[in-house]
Structure 1
């Protein structure tokens, strides 16, 4: 274990102890300053990002880097940079998640118990080709009182460095009364450093990987530190027999094409056999108009062949297609004969991320949402809504399919745990028992205002 890595972890631990007692005003001042510096440094950051894009394009052309990863790398795409800045401001506006009383009990006269939210401690965030994560995670970590160690993918090396420098300059520019430790946010670069950090469970409290299934699986199997995240984003949309033809093409198309490389994009379309003839042609034409290729099972393929859709836009599906996260303009199509069959397929082949049903039948919708085992279950809405920003969480730390304290899009609430505080007056356990004092255990009204 290198001394440098141990020093990074130790500094993060010390910073986390300071952050635990930082005020909301201090944390908000830091995040506001971060936005100010990101706006000032935009030109330099995008220039660094362009260097990464040029190198990545060579890798894409050589077949060594996927097109989906390349898209995630681009900070200048559309309104991505502006959205990044707005996400920072949104974090400032969010309530401080720490110091909230979630339980208050009067155990006895002069003996009170409180459960209070507090930071997790030190976070290790490992991500691929998403340079904006440097900013999103840092702001969420600061707001929730956590220190963070970041490791980005080599594809985004220059972008990550530029963003990190901007953040560090912002933190160091604060006056002493608002300052937080510089080590609250640290960046490491090499894979060897990550392998070492994964062994430092005495300093690091939570690992959050954001990237490929291979990367997430590797991390999950390489550390004793708790890991929050998901390895796959294999989402499905089910068109029920009571689906509205005015809604299904729009919802399915958005779920597939809005951002195909995202983990919440729909990869499988399930359609009830009773509406196969009426629904699939309209949905398929909407998808094809956006460049989507379909991999259809036997019954769906027969319907597609009866339309005027170009034959090169669809092909027969293989069993593997229904277990594939395409992350591009490709979708698997399967016909089912019942709601229960759709639910069974999703629970067997899905990744417990986000699933949607399109139907006008409330009972079917509620059954679907109750029986599908996923972090997000939607009724007549695109799977692309599975996002911390869209949920109103501000920037997102990641998406978790874990069945732990945080599930689905994880914002600030996923970065706090709690501690129990007892306020006594010289009480001893030996004072209680048969023939002695009895516990009251009455609720204390909680006033957070």
Structure 2
């Protein structure tokens, strides 16, 4: 009864971890949880399949057709609600046509929350003219590819949604990204073209979570493009096993001039019922 002896083990040294990474004949999957450097090390030093993500560089794009209240609420929540997690926003992208009206109000909310802003030239000028100078510096190329895990935010003004999508796909980590707008067609295009495991429309990036997706306890988040992707619950760890129940069936009967035809249909009955 219960779990078998040895099902759980505690590794306390790097040497023990390195030994585990060599056990590809015995271990089917590794799910690392920890820092960017730790996850990357695991991914780069084992032949065992790894389910995980090394970083969470998440974006929110505020489109020209955004509802301003929704934008203020979602952008605040995505950064401030809990900044030290992988689904917190790290870069805010804003369409140029609404930046002048949106940024000053957004900047005040971030300033009150103690957020340090790292701005491109255009967003810096807008915020400077609005009188917000307390915690603001010019962004560098490195900022676009940095996961801060802190009350620090990069801001960039873009000329179009296409530029926002290109920026996300270039600098993002394929984790979670969001668009704020009231145009269903544009939002659908954004969702289709952003190459991330979770894409939100008018919702905080912080919703990217296995429990919030109804998967129960989250065992990991994957940015891989095979099998499980995005927040993964226990169901995402399941693999397929095929059971064929025949009655002397032969492949030879299904080839040639008078071959029998295959009929493919979904079977509702469980295997135990079919065999019972």
CA distance change for structure 1 residues 362 and 437 in 2, over 3 Å: closer, same or farther?
A: closer
Of the structure 1 ranges 272-281 and 216-225, higher mean CA displacement relative to structure 2 is found in 216-225
Residue 377 of structure 1 is matched in structure 2 by: 199
Runs (5+) with no aligned partner, structure 2: none
SS across alignment from 1:187 = coil
Distance 1:184 1:312, change over 3 A: same
- 2:68 maps to 1:283: no
- Corresponding position of 1:83: none
| Matched positions, count | 271
Which residue of structure 1 aligns with residue 51 of structure 2?
228
- Segments ≥4 residues shifted beyond 4 Å: none
Question: 1:193 maps to what in 2?
Answer: 16
Per the TM alignment, residue 290 of structure 1 is displaced from its structure 2 partner at its CA by 1.0
Shift of 1:444: 4.3
Match of 1:36 in 2: none
Residue of 79, 96, 102 corresponding to 1:273: 96
CA distance in 2, matches of 1:444, 1:243: 43
More helix by share: 1
> SS at the partner of 1:332?
strand
Question: What does residue range 193-272 of structure 1 map to in structure 2 within 5 Å?
Answer: 193-272=16-95
Q: CA deviation at 1:404?
A: 0.7
| 3-state SS of paired residue (2:10) | strand
Question: How far apart are 1:329 and its partner, in Å?
Answer: 0.3
Q: Assess if the C-alpha contact under 8 Å between 2:83 and 2:150 holds in 1.
A: yes
1:359-370 counterparts in 2 under 5 A?
Answer: 359-370=181-192
Aligned partners of 2:111 and 2:134 also within 8 Å: no
CA gap of 1:188–1:337, structure 2 versus 1, over 3 A, is same
What is the CA–CA distance in structure 2 between the aligned matches of 1:232 and 1:180, rounded to whole Å? 33
Q: Distance in 2 between matches of 1:297 and 1:435?
A: 70
SS at match of 1:334: strand
What TM-score, normalized by structure 2, do the two folds share?
Answer: 0.93
Alignment of 1:32-431 (within 5 A): 176=1, 179-309=2-132, 311-431=133-253
Q: Write out per-residue CA displacement over residues 189-240 of structure 1, whole angstroms, 9 at most, x where no aligned residue.
A: 2211111111111110011111222212211111111111111100000010
Answer 1 or 2: which has greater strand percent: 1
